Structure 1
Amino acid sequence: MAQREKSAVAVASTATASPSSSSSDPPAAPSGERWGAAIGNLGELGANVESLQKLLARKAVFVDEDVFSKASLAAEQTRSIKILEQRVLSLERELDAAISAASRARTEKRQAEAAQRAAELRAQEVTKELENTARVFQLHMEELRAKQDEIAKRDSDIKVLEAIIRTLSSKDNGGSSE
């Protein structure tokens, strides 16, 4: 690590020395700046790697393979349990939605049945009204027939009386002229 930093510093000093030695070439100056920025980035990267190494050295736990495999199995089982818990929650939400839909369907069915019963009652009422109307119409027809028969009887009585009157008037007229 220290070797990388030393070589980076050496490259940086060479890069910064090159542009000052040939001041007659203008593009060399920007290229030197880029090299300087790259070397600065490399230095920061080295410092970051070093701090990561120190952090790992302090926090790392070394275990044998048996303990590692058990820990891996436990971690895998934990992930599986979390996935299954999420699936259970998802299924519970689906079940709740299905229960709500079934409840709405039952309510709609009850409403439809109530509407059907009301329609059937209305149909029965209308049928009774029609039957009553038919009975009333039948009674009126019978009354009309009876009146028609009475009128026909009176008409025949009137014709008989007219015939009697004609006969009597012809006898009175016929007897007085003789």
Structure 2
Amino acid sequence: MEEKGKGSERWSAAIGNLSEMTSNLESLQKLLLKKAVFVDEETFAKASLSSEQARTIKVLEQRVETLERELDAAITAAARARSEKRQAEAAQKAAELRSQEITRELENTTKVFELHMEELRAKQQEIAKRDSDIKVLEAIIQTLGGKESSSSRPSL
């Protein structure tokens, strides 16, 4: 029996809710009738078209704003890239100048080295000539020394 009591309470609450909803709908309908504007189909179609165009314009405006931001970012990136390129070109030019300077230093060092080598060869030739002269003189001395020692020896 208790279940019957609870079931009937639920039904009464549901019926009460339905009646409240009905009165709310009636109030809404009265409000719409007072405030609603009725137009012919052509006017409604034009209004719908205008509304659709307004939505399309809004979407396109947002797209334009997005593209403008992307363009600004691309311009900034291009400016940064140009700046980096100028820096790289300046560094390359400095490296080329340093390379030319080192090449000139190497060429100068090579010329000095060649001059020193020529001087060394000339001195070696001079030493070789003097060494040859010394050997000739030694041979002459030995020859003369050998004759003197045989003439200064008593004959037997």
TM-score normalized with structure 2 length = 0.86
Q: Which structure ranks higher in relative contact order (CA pairs < 8 Å, sequence separation ≥ 6)? A: 1
In 1, distance between residues paired with 2:24 and 2:112?
108
Q: Deviation of residue 145 (structure 1)? A: 0.7
Q: What's 2:140 paired with?
A: 164
Aligned-partner SS, 1:61: coil
Identity across the alignment (%): 70
Aligned-partner SS, 2:2: coil
Spell out structure 1 runs of 4+ moving beyond 4 A: none
Matched, 1:60 2:36: yes
Which range is displaced more, 147-156 or 47-56? 47-56
Q: Deviation of residue 171 (structure 1)? A: 2.7
Q: What's 1:37 paired with?
A: 13
Aligned-partner SS, 1:174: helix
Q: Deviation of residue 169 (structure 1)? A: 1.5
Deviations 1:73-111 (A, max 9, x none): 221221121121111112112211221222222222222
Matched, 1:92 2:68: yes
Alignment of 1:108-119 (within 5 A): 108-119=84-95
Q: What's 1:125 paired with?
A: 101
Aligned partner (choices 94, 102, 111) of residue 78 of structure 2: 102
- One-letter amino acid of the counterpart of residue 95, structure 1: L
Matched, 1:175 2:147: no
In 1, distance between residues paired with 2:121 and 2:4?
132
Deviations 1:46-88 (A, max 9, x none): 2321232132123211222332222222212211211211111
Q: Deviation of residue 158 (structure 1)? A: 1.0
Aligned-partner SS, 1:112: helix
Aligned partner (choices 37, 45, 48) of residue 72 of structure 1: 48
Q: What stretches of structure 1 of length at least 5 have no aligned partner?
A: 1-24
In 1, distance between residues paired with 2:79 and 2:105?
39
In 1, distance between residues paired with 2:115 and 2:70?
66
Q: Deviation of residue 157 (structure 1)? A: 1.5
Aligned-partner SS, 2:37: coil
Q: Deviation of residue 112 (structure 1)? A: 2.1
TM-score normalized with structure 1 length = 0.77
Matched, 1:154 2:126: no
In 1, distance between residues paired with 2:126 and 2:88?
56
Q: What stretches of structure 2 of length at least 5 have no aligned partner?
A: none
In 1, distance between residues paired with 2:59 and 2:46?
20
- One-letter amino acid of the counterpart of residue 82, structure 1: K
Please, what is the CA RMSD of the aligned residues? 1.8
